[in-house]
Amino acid sequence: MKKQVYLKRLEIQGFKSFADKTNLEFKPGITLVVGPNGSGKSNIADAIRWVLGEQSVKSLRGDKMEDVIFAGSENRRSLGLAEVSITLDNSSGQFPLDYHEITVTRRLYRSGESDYLINRVPCRLRDIHELFMDTGIGREGFSIIGQGKVDEVLSVKSEERRGLLEEAAGIVKYRYKKRETLKKLEETENSLVRLQDIIQELRMQEEPLAQQAEKAREYRCKKTELDNLEIGMIVEETAHYEQQLVKNAASGRELEMSLEEARAGYHQVQTRQEEYKLELQKKDEELADYQEKIYEENVALEKHESQKQLVSARKADLLQRQEQLAREQEQLQQEAASIRQKLADQEEQEEALLKQLAADQEKLQQYEAKMDEENRREQAERDRIEDLQNEHFELLQKETAVQNDITALKQRMILIQKQEEQFNTRESQMKAEMAAIMEKLADLEKEAQDNSAKLADLEQELVARDQKYLEKREKLKQRQEQNQKLKEEKSNLESRYHVLLEMEKEGQGYGRGVREILQQKEKGLLSGIIGTVAQIIEVPRAYETAVEVVLGGALQHLVTEKEQAARAAIEWLKKNNCGRVTFLPLDTVKGAGKTPVKSAGKEVDAKKEGLSGKGVIGRLSELIQYDQKYKGIMDFLLGRTWLVENLALAVEKAKETGFKYRIVTLDGQTVNPGGSLTGGSAKAVQSSILGRKRNLDELQEKIKALEAALAEGAAQEQALEDAVQEARRQWEEVKEKIQGLRLREVEVSSVLDRWQADRGRQESEVDHLQVQREETAEEKENILASVEKYAQEKLLLEEKKKACLAELEQLQEKVRLCQQEKLKRNEELTQLRIEAATAEARLTSFRKEKNYHEQRLLQLEQELQEKAMEAENSVQKVSELEQAYQEAEKGIATCLRRLRELEAEQGEKREDKLKVQELMDELTAEIKKIAYLLHEKEEKLHQLELQRSKWESSLEAAERRLTEQFQLTLAEAQTREIMLPGNRKKCLERIALLKAELQELGEVNLGAIDEYNRLRERLDFLEKQVNDMTEAKTRLEMVIREMDQIMAKRFKETFEQVNEAFKKVFVELFGGGKAELVLSEPSQLLETGVEIMVQPPGKKTQHLSLLSGGERALTAIALLMAILQVRPSPFCVLDEIESNLDEANVYRFADLLRDFAQKTQFIVISHRKGTMEAADVLYGVTMAETGVSRLVSVKLEDAQKDAS
């Protein structure tokens, strides 16, 4: 059987009348707390209620929260802190914490600060509420039931009574989650509104920004052509410089290949070095692991030794306490005179102990001073050892450095000998290469002269072809510019047309509700919607202002086929929270507005009323066009509105008709019925609802005319393009021949320069070889002298190292002997400290014993009983401490054995690391050797690069122009396919023309393109966010519906179970009769109240208010017990709930408690005899000291006697 959660312990300190720390231990079953009235026993129930999170001061029987702190009494001062802790057994794991015991603590300081803790860890009050939510435990639960709770169950409204059933049903957490979800839903809806406002604002910026972006694109196109022309000219200039650099590039390849081979060898050695480094790192990590393990074992050893000392000390104290208890029991049995004599004897012993303690402390101080002096001498020797070790390490480093220098010099000597052999071989090769170079130079110079003559003839032909091509291209350009203007005009009109069309489709200018209804109509989700008033009328341009002024918001009214369609649309708006809209159903709106005047039941013609003559244009409903089926709508809206030319005429006509009509002028000034005037200037609107429809038609006609003109211009442009292409083809043929000759000329020139450079390089290399021969001979002599010098230095370092090691060994032996002596002295010092501490402890013990005797004289009999119990507990604790002492000794032995093993293994790892370090040192020397060779080759390559600096400087100047003016590298410019329009002169003319055209464009916002793209991206992003939030809103609404379904289902199930249990428990308590629970609104399970219908035995069904006090109490108890039966609480505190019952009913209540105690632990506060007899454990609360409650042991027969 699964173990049940139960209340294990209650700790109270400073809470209300419990000034001292008070502990109550509880067991499963029934625990009874008894005590006389005013003893403070109900404060135990208040303490449990408070620690579970109760915030209502009224529920705690106080005026302010500070009242729960002990306020003081005649003999005690008030406290500054109240603290209560409850401990629950969680072996079953019912609570979601990984502890077998859960302790909840609450503290309140008189300053007003509060602390909440779970298992001594600070937390929030909310964490405590969530921990106990839906468990029956908590401030809203049914774990604490007092007399007020019993009355409340019957007195509250039926809607409030359902709270008990919700806790039992476990749906309180769902209500909490639902509130959180509704909050998130509200935040989501607010975010949606904000996003839609932002989108509307961005759409207003979109059209003007699009126009700026188009202008920027035209500017960018012309600027790109201009940049390409200038870049092309620079690229031609740089071609010559690059060809010169090609010659030098070949010379460096051979040396670079040699350098790459050397680098490859260097990288291989480096790779091996990295492997050794990794292995060393691994060894270090292993040593660190062993060090960590040794540290952990030392910590464990210290812990066991500390535990051993602690247990030993506690055992000694307990044994001493046992002896003291025996003496006290014997002394308490003697007469008062005997006790006084004992106190006198103790005073003499105390004086002796004081003298002994002073002597021990003086001896201890002298010994400690001597130990400090020896420690200072030892530290000086240790400092000298550390200095010698550092000196020895420095000598080793110097010796290693000297040896490395000797090895490097020998390797350098071998390398110099190889270089001398290479010098001789290279000298022979250069003589043969020089003869071949001179022969090749003669052939190249002859070919260059022939190419120059051919190139002069072709350039003359190219000039003639270029002139013909430019004439035809100019004619084509003029035609293209004409066509481009037509395209731009057409594009602008189309852009405006599409913007207006999109605004019309999206319903811009309409309110949100109108847009939503129109969208639902397009989707086919709402039927019978015809459209807005603005969509069903056609207004002449001259009358647009007047119609818009008169109709105003009525232009957005929606016309429907029937009144039912309007009602359906309104319901949809309400359901989706989309605002308000006015609907005009054709079957309900009549043209009553057209009737001009009625006089004595007869209609009067408008002319007779003065609405005719010069300047009167007519009735506004008759001046616009619409389908006749909308005549009733138009008469309703405009039937009583007349249009005149000016305001003066409008006022005149209004006076003539007695101000019975609305009269509006062409510019929108209005005389209203009754005589008021509306007018003035209004801000121009870019595109009104009525003007937008007219603009769409006008734009469509203009676009068609431009399309016809563009078709004719395109044909002319095509013919001119064909002629230009032919002239271009002829020009390119000559150009290709010239380019071929120029390319060959450049190649010949490049090769010629390269061979000439080779000749100069050969001559320079011969000179360089001679210099190297001389430098090599001088270096050989220097190396031999250095090797001899380093050998002598190495011998001197070895002698110093031996002397240092000898002195170091002597000092280490001396320190070791001092350490042994120090250990002996430490033991003696420890013994002295123990003796002094023992004397001080004995003195303290005597003083406590003296004080104890003086106080115990007043309560001899009670103290004898307590001492007997304490002696019995002390024997048991000594046995437990002996077992703990043995376990600590075992732990110490295990730790010492493990430490020895780990230290041995650590030594082996250190030896392995030293071997790897030696291999690493050898490899480092080899790396230095290879690095020296690499440096030599790199130096040669550097000399070769210096020879190329002349041509690179020229190339960099051209590149700098590209970078500074066009932000391009030379490589990027060369990859561009740029076709120059002729010679340099033609290019300059084209550049000047393009600059003039760019000037004509005026100020251009180049950032408009990116701004427009960003605007579109942001619009797309915001619209996606709107969609995401709409989906999130739908999901939240679905979660709320699911929680409602779960809560309704669980409430219904729990209600039925509690109702059945209530019926049975009621009969059991009353010995008959019947009762049931009834829902006040069964169809609203989430809001319904709970009514109680009762019929006591021998009576009719009656209202709760007509029951007697005992019947009300039994009814409430029956309901609470029924809830506990359906949803057992881990524990339940009952605070005198049976106080209004007679003896017979008390015994029935007690029998019921015994039955329920199988599943629920009960802590009962009572003074009734029948309830006491059902208890398993009894606690008594007394107030021996005024205002201070204390816990005492109570015998069952004494409690029953007090109750009777």
Q: Residue 543: pLDDT above 80?
A: yes
Calpha distance 11→1097 (Å, rounded): 44
Structure tokens at 1065: 């428990």
Nearest of 467, 505, 916 to residue 731 by alpha carbon: 467
pTM for this model (two decimals): 0.38
Nearest of 1036, 1042, 1037 to residue 174 by alpha carbon: 1042
Residue pair 34/1172 in contact by the 8 Å Cβ criterion: yes
Residues 381-399: tens digit of each pLDDT: 777 777 777 777 677 777 7
For CATH 3.40.50.300, list the domain ranges present in the chain.
1-142+1138-1145+1167-1204
Section 1177-1197 average pLDDT:
76
SS3 919: helix
Residue pair 746/243 in contact by the 8 Å Cβ criterion: yes
Q: Residue 1048: pLDDT above 80?
A: yes
> Based on the number of CB atoms within 10 Å of its own CB, is 817 exposed (0-12), middle (13-18) or buried (19 or more)?
exposed
Residue pair 546/620 in contact by the 8 Å Cβ criterion: yes
For residue 484, what pLDDT is reported? Answer: 78
Residue pair 593/635 in contact by the 8 Å Cβ criterion: yes
Q: Which CATH class is domain 1-142+1138-1145+1167-1204?
A: alpha beta
Q: Residue 663: pLDDT above 80?
A: yes
Tell me the Ramachandran region of residue 93: left when phi exceeds 0, alpha when psi lies from -120 to 50, beta otherwise: left
Residues 110-160: tens digit of each pLDDT: 888 889 998 888 888 888 877 777 666 765 566 788 766 676 777 767 766
Q: Residue 650: pLDDT above 80?
A: yes
Section 1112-1118 average pLDDT:
82
Structure tokens at 364: 């201890």
Nearest of 62, 158, 20 to residue 1082 by alpha carbon: 158
For residue 858, what pLDDT is reported? Answer: 62
Residue pair 23/10 in contact by the 8 Å Cβ criterion: yes
Q: Residue 595: pLDDT above 50?
A: no
Q: Residue 728: pLDDT above 80?
A: no
For residue 437, what pLDDT is reported? Answer: 72
Residues 298-335: tens digit of each pLDDT: 888 888 888 878 878 887 877 887 788 777 666 666 65
Q: By percentage, how much of the chain surpasses pLDDT 70?
A: 85
Q: Residue 604: pLDDT above 70?
A: no
Sign of torsion over alpha carbons 690, 695, 697, 698? positive
For residue 103, what pLDDT is reported? Answer: 92
Residues 157-177: tens digit of each pLDDT: 776 677 777 777 777 777 777
Work out the mean pLDDT of the chain and round it to a whole number: 78
784 or 333, greater pLDDT: 784
Residue pair 485/218 in contact by the 8 Å Cβ criterion: no
Residue 279's identity, in one-letter code, is: E
For residue 156, what pLDDT is reported? Answer: 67
Calpha distance 43→82 (Å, rounded): 13
Tell me the Ramachandran region of residue 1171: left when phi exceeds 0, alpha when psi lies from -120 to 50, beta otherwise: alpha
Token pair 């408690």 is found at 1153
Q: Residue 867: pLDDT above 80?
A: no
For residue 828, what pLDDT is reported? Answer: 73
Residues 264-274: tens digit of each pLDDT: 877 887 788 78
pLDDT band at 643 (very low <50, low <70, confident <90, very high): very high
Calpha distance 1003→1001 (Å, rounded): 7
Q: Alpha carbon of 774 to those of 762, 777, 781: distances in Å?
A: 19, 5, 12
SS3 554: helix
Nearest of 1188, 1191, 1178 to residue 1201 by alpha carbon: 1178
Q: Residue 1204: pLDDT above 60?
A: no
| Alpha-carbon radius of gyration of the chain | 54
Section 1120-1146 average pLDDT:
83
Section 187-191 average pLDDT:
79
Q: Residue 336: pLDDT above 70?
A: no
Nearest of 91, 127, 106, 115 to residue 6 by alpha carbon: 91
In this structure, are strands 625-626 and 602-603 parallel, antiparallel, or unpaired? Answer: unpaired
Q: Residue 658: pLDDT above 80?
A: yes
Q: Residue 717: pLDDT above 90?
A: no
pLDDT band at 836 (very low <50, low <70, confident <90, very high): confident
Token pair 């509006």 is found at 664
Residues 213-228: tens digit of each pLDDT: 777 787 778 778 777 7
Section 789-817 average pLDDT:
78
For residue 560, what pLDDT is reported? Answer: 93
For CATH 3.30.70.1620, list the domain ranges present in the chain.
538-690
Section 458-463 average pLDDT:
73
Q: Which CATH class is domain 538-690?
A: alpha beta
First to last CA, the chain: 40
Q: Residue 598: pLDDT above 60?
A: no
Structure tokens at 1037: 């609404």
Structure tokens at 730: 């002829």
For residue 1075, what pLDDT is reported? Answer: 86
For residue 207, what pLDDT is reported? Answer: 67
Sign of torsion over alpha carbons 486, 489, 493, 494? positive
CB under 8 Å to 1197, separation ≥6 — which residues? none
Nearest of 1142, 1154, 1143 to residue 1109 by alpha carbon: 1142
For residue 599, what pLDDT is reported? Answer: 33
For residue 987, what pLDDT is reported? Answer: 78
Range ranked top by mean pLDDT from 180-194, 348-362, 442-456, 743-757: 180-194
Residues 681-691: tens digit of each pLDDT: 654 443 467 77
For residue 683, what pLDDT is reported? Answer: 44
Calpha distance 1194→352 (Å, rounded): 45
∠ CA 255-258-262, rounded to 5°:
135
Q: Residue 596: pLDDT above 60?
A: no
For residue 600, what pLDDT is reported? Answer: 30
